[in-house]
Copies of this chain bind each other. A is one copy, B any other.
Amino acid sequence: MEWEQCLTEAGCRVTQARRAVIAVLSATDVPLSPQEILRQGAAIHPSLGLVTVYRTVALLEDLGLVQRPHHSEGCHGYLPTLPGHRHHVVCTHCGRTAQFLGGEGLDDLIARVEHGTRYRVDHHMLQFEGLCPTCQERGA
């Protein structure tokens, strides 16, 4: 698992607790809350505690391995970062997500905004909400 390698390279230990959190997060396409990570992680490593989940998730976020999508309703939970892909579409019905690349349409827009507002744009956050294919079929 390359996530464990990231930990090692960062000088962090690979513990059972971290393995459990990683197993849960690396496999999800629905953003998970700390509580939910605990619930699923405890199945793998029963003594896992909520505090450790918070700490591990913060660590993984620092390492860029997970990120927190947001949307109109607030902050959603934690989701693995796919290489090169940076943005999310969140299903408003089931919470499932997909990721996609920004592309040059976004670069044009950034240039326009920099010009219009005189801000220097360093970062962007783009996220879509809608219905995933499954929920569309179910007529949600």
Contact = CB atoms under 8 A, between A and B. Distances in A.
A78 to B, nearest CB: 12
Given A117-B89, A119-B133, A132-B119, A125 B72 contact: yes
Interface stretch (A1-9, A20-28, A52-60, A100-108): A100-108
B131 A120 contact: yes
A89 to B, nearest CB: 5
A138 interface: no
Categorize the interface residue count of chain A: 35 or more
A127 interface: yes
Contacts of A100: 113, 116-117
Contacts of A125: 70-72, 125-129
A76 to B, nearest CB: 10
B130 A122 contact: yes
A109 interface: yes
A117 B129 contact: no
A123 B92 contact: yes
A68 B75 CA distance: 11
A71 to B, nearest CB: 6
